[in-house]
């Protein structure tokens, strides 16, 4: 199952992603458990999604009914590990707090 946070939904809207793009992102995350292009910062995974030119940040947890993928944000691809640097400075907890609205 894939869910999005309000922050991710805002990121999708700001990048003018279509419902088809968003469905494609969900399929990609469900169908490919681990991609060779995934970058890990603590529990947050950053995955480039080439067909809509975004990097998606998500967390995967295990539930009683199977894996739950929570998309916490999306941004334009950044070179040089900018996203990873930001996540390491700010910290995973702060990103997840912002994404969940706490």
Residue 77 pLDDT greater than 90, yes or no: no
Q: What is the CATH number of the domain that holds 81?
A: 3.30.2310
Determine the Cα–Cα distance for residues 78 and 55; give it in Å rounded to an integer.
8
pLDDT tens by residue, 4-58: 999 899 999 999 999 999 999 999 999 998 999 999 888 889 999 999 999 999 9
In the chain, the number of structural domains is: 1
Over the range 23-44, which residues count as b (16 or more CB within 10 Å of their CB) and which as e? Answer: eebbebbeeeeeeeeebebeeb
Higher pLDDT, 81 or 68: 68
- Tell me the pTM: 0.79
Q: What is the pLDDT of residue 102?
A: 47
Q: What is the pLDDT of residue 26?
A: 95
By residue range, what is the domain housing residue 70?
2-100
């Amino acid at each position: 199952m894939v869910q999005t946070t309000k922050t991710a939904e805002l990121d999708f809207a700001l990048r003018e992603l279509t419902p088809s793009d968003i469905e494609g992102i969900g399929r990609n995350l469900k169908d490919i458990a681990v991609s060779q292009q995934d970058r890990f910062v603590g529990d947050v995974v950053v995955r480039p999604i080439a067909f809509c030119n975004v990097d998606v940040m998500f967390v995967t947890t295990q539930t009683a009914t199977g894996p739950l993928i929570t998309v916490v944000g999306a941004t334009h691809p950044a070179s040089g590990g900018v996203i990873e640097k930001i996540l390491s400075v700010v910290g995973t907890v702060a990103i997840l707090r912002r994404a969940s609205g706490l």
